[in-house]
Amino acid sequence: PRFPAVNRDLAFVIDKNCRHGTVESVARSAKIERLVSVELF
């Protein structure tokens, strides 16, 4: 590749009633071409 890969960490403040699985499924369903992994903590 012309440019090296870049890792990004994103932080979001969400409602405490929002479930872990919901956040993950929304991120994955966005079908972002370069999104390699989703890790929630």
Give the C-alpha distances (Å, rounded to integers) separating 17 from 14, 21, 24, 35, 41: 8, 12, 14, 25, 15
Whole domain around residue 5: which residue ranges? 1-41
* pLDDT value of residue 15: 93
pLDDT of residue 16: 92
How many domains are there within the chain? Answer: 1
Question: pLDDT at position 24, please?
Answer: 92
Quick: pLDDT tens for 5-41. 888 888 989 999 999 999 999 999 998 888 888 888 8
Q: What is the pLDDT of residue 5?
A: 84
pLDDT at 36: 87
What are 34's two structure tokens? 């370069």
